Amino acid sequence: MRKAAVLAAAAVVAAAAAIVVRQRLREAKRWARAAAVLCDLQERCAAPAARLRMVADAMDVEMRAGLASEDGSKLKMLVTYVDSLPSGDEKGLFYALDLGGTNFRVLRVQLGGKEQRVIKQESVGELFDFIAAALTKFVASEGVDYHLPEGTQRELGFTFSFPVKQTSISSGILIKWTKNFAVDEMVGKDIVAELNEAIKRKGLVMKVSALVNDTVGTLAAGRYVDNDTIVAVILGTGTNAAYIEHVHAIPKWHVHLPKSADMIINMEWGNFKSGHLPLTEFDQALDAESLNPGEQIYEKLTSGMYMGEIVRRILLRMAQEAALFGDHTPPKLETPYILKTFHMLMMHHDTSSDLKTVSLKLKEILGIESTSRKTRKLVVEVCEVVARRGARLAAAGIYGILKKLDRVTCSADKPRSVIAVDGGVYKYYTFFGQCMESTLRDMLGEEVASSIVIKPVDDGSGIGAALLAASYSQYLQDDEILA
């Protein structure tokens, strides 16, 4: 009897052990699968130095092609009609409208010349459809401090962060929408004329005196504080760069010669594409299902609009193929764009020993109740692969511009080159910013790197636009108005 009981107990133990072994085996298999997906991803996203040089060379070649003829390249290399940048002497009351980043804003900037610089700066947030109404309300709420002589038009710098073919400093045709904007009837229209009309209908005495891309505003704002600023880069929801070009290096530009020998070029580098870009099946699927398939490929690898979404797609694959989050794929993980780059950076920057933030974000955003530390660590690694690739490619893009400008070799008389950078990804994704800067330093080598400065510039699309409205004011000779 006793023997039978012992045997039965042994059988139960053996069965339980078998279950545990099976579970461990299954677990090990899942991990092996997840690790294989990660390993494959790391390989495909790798951007080693040699590849980055090829990307930079391709950027340089495309820049030249885009400058040579209108449709010569994926890079539009748009002439901005900004042929002089703020000097610091600008004075007067100006307004700025900022459309195309995360929010729509109206700003009022009082410029006080060299001594006082920006005296006051205020803003309100509103919606696109209510631009003119928002301006009217903003102006109506103004106190006596902001009085302009009778009959004077208020002047507005309009930052419109999309590809625009400018026809003058204050007019331009929308080529296409990017990021998550898509109002089809606006494409092909002069957006300033549309805005001026809306302003007029509201009875407001105001007019756009400068239409600028956010990169151009950032270049102006950068130049305002540092005279060696020659390039501006935005790494935010979208990505782009602008720089100062010699007029004689723009063969396609034969309308009229500007007053100085320079012209700011809005590259629209988000649309850059090259066979050297490390693309994965995740990027291809994201592109195919995007609002603009086949376009903005560089932007889709490097900017805030997309990096979180790439991470989501990778995690979904790991959930489906390796049951990373348990036997069932979390339904929310299947929702496109649910995971923002902002969430990605919070998880990536989690330094707590048990990765508390990762656990919290997975729960809050994707409804994943509980995860092991090992799983959370894997999630961080996925974020790292995607961010590192984006940052290294951004560095290669900057290197390409510096190469085009002949600033990547050493010589005693080489001037300092300052690159003004703005945008949420650069500002808040510390890993991204640091990785981009160290990659650029490595590419340049120590000696050249010592003359290249990356400078964070805040609010180029606000202050920069107001500064350009001042530089191109219709009242430039009128001291009373610009006092």
Q: Which residues have a catalytic role annotated?
A: 179, 214
Comparing CB distances to ligand BGC, the nearer of 80 and 471 is 80
Q: Which of 80, 166, 209, 215 binds ligand BGC (CB under 6 A)?
A: 215
Q: Give the whole-angstrom CA distance, residue 59 versus residue 74.
A: 10
390: contact with ligand BGC by CB under 6 A: no
Q: Give the whole-angstrom CA distance, residue 299 versus residue 283.
A: 11
217: contact with ligand BGC by CB under 6 A: no
243: contact with ligand BGC by CB under 6 A: no
422: contact with ligand BGC by CB under 6 A: no
Nearest to 330 by CA among 348, 315, 345, 341: 315
73: contact with ligand BGC by CB under 6 A: no
- Residues 298, 55 contacting (CB under 8 angstroms): no
Q: Say how many residues touch ligand BGC, by CB under 6 A.
A: 18
Comparing CB distances to ligand BGC, the nearer of 92 and 163 is 163
Closest separation in Å from C-beta 76 to ligand BGC:
9
- Residues 134, 106 contacting (CB under 8 angstroms): yes
371: contact with ligand BGC by CB under 6 A: no
Q: Which of 60, 62, 268, 459 binds ligand BGC (CB under 6 A)?
A: 268
39-46: long-range pairs with CB below 8 Å, 24+: 41/280, 41/282, 41/314, 41/382, 41/385, 42/385, 44/278, 44/279, 44/280, 45/278, 45/280, 45/385, 45/386, 45/388, 45/389, 46/278, 46/389
- Give the binding range for ligand BGC (CB under 6 A) out of 10-18, 143-151, 231-239, 243-251: 231-239
Q: Give the whole-angstrom CA distance, residue 435 versus residue 39.
A: 20
Closest separation in Å from C-beta 238 to ligand BGC:
2
- Give the binding range for ligand BGC (CB under 6 A) out of 142-150, 208-216, 400-408, 470-478: 208-216
Comparing CB distances to ligand BGC, the nearer of 213 and 274 is 213
Nearest to 98 by CA among 76, 121, 64: 121
238: contact with ligand BGC by CB under 6 A: yes
234: contact with ligand BGC by CB under 6 A: yes
Closest separation in Å from C-beta 296 to ligand BGC:
6
Closest separation in Å from C-beta 315 to ligand BGC:
25
Cα 236 to its chain centre, rounded Å, is: 3
Comparing CB distances to ligand BGC, the nearer of 237 and 329 is 237
For 35, 128, 129, the CA distances from 285, given in Å and listed in that order, are 21, 30, 32
For 109, 170, 262, 417, the CA distances from 473, given in Å and listed in that order, are 14, 11, 19, 29
309: contact with ligand BGC by CB under 6 A: no
Comparing CB distances to ligand BGC, the nearer of 345 and 355 is 345
Nearest to 322 by CA among 101, 126, 33: 33
- Residues 217, 465 contacting (CB under 8 angstroms): yes
Q: Which residues contact 194 (CB under 8 A, 6 or more apart)?
A: 186
Q: List binders of ligand BGC among 128-187 (CB under 6 A).
A: 161-163, 178-179
472: contact with ligand BGC by CB under 6 A: no
Closest separation in Å from C-beta 195 to ligand BGC:
17
- Residues 306, 287 contacting (CB under 8 angstroms): no
Closest separation in Å from C-beta 415 to ligand BGC:
26
Residue nearest to ligand BGC according to CB distances in the complex = 238
471: contact with ligand BGC by CB under 6 A: no
Q: Which of 86, 92, 217, 270 binds ligand BGC (CB under 6 A)?
A: 270
For 70, 96, 252, 355, 424, the CA distances from 255, given in Å and listed in that order, are 13, 28, 9, 58, 36
Comparing CB distances to ligand BGC, the nearer of 270 and 400 is 270
90: contact with ligand BGC by CB under 6 A: no
Comparing CB distances to ligand BGC, the nearer of 228 and 295 is 295
Q: What is the arrangement of strands in the sheet containing 91-99, beginning at the earlier edge strand?
A: 118-126, 104-112, 91-99, 154-160, 206-212
For 216, 239, 423, the CA distances from 234, given in Å and listed in that order, are 10, 5, 5
Closest separation in Å from C-beta 16 to ligand BGC:
58
Q: Which of 240, 302, 341, 357 binds ligand BGC (CB under 6 A)?
A: 240
Instruction: Give backbone dihedrals phi and psi of 366, rounded to 5 degrees, phi first.
Output: -110, 0
432: contact with ligand BGC by CB under 6 A: no
- Residues 95, 109 contacting (CB under 8 angstroms): yes
* Residues found near ligand BGC in the complex (CB under 6 A): 100-101, 161-163, 178-179, 213-215, 234, 236, 238-240, 268, 270, 299
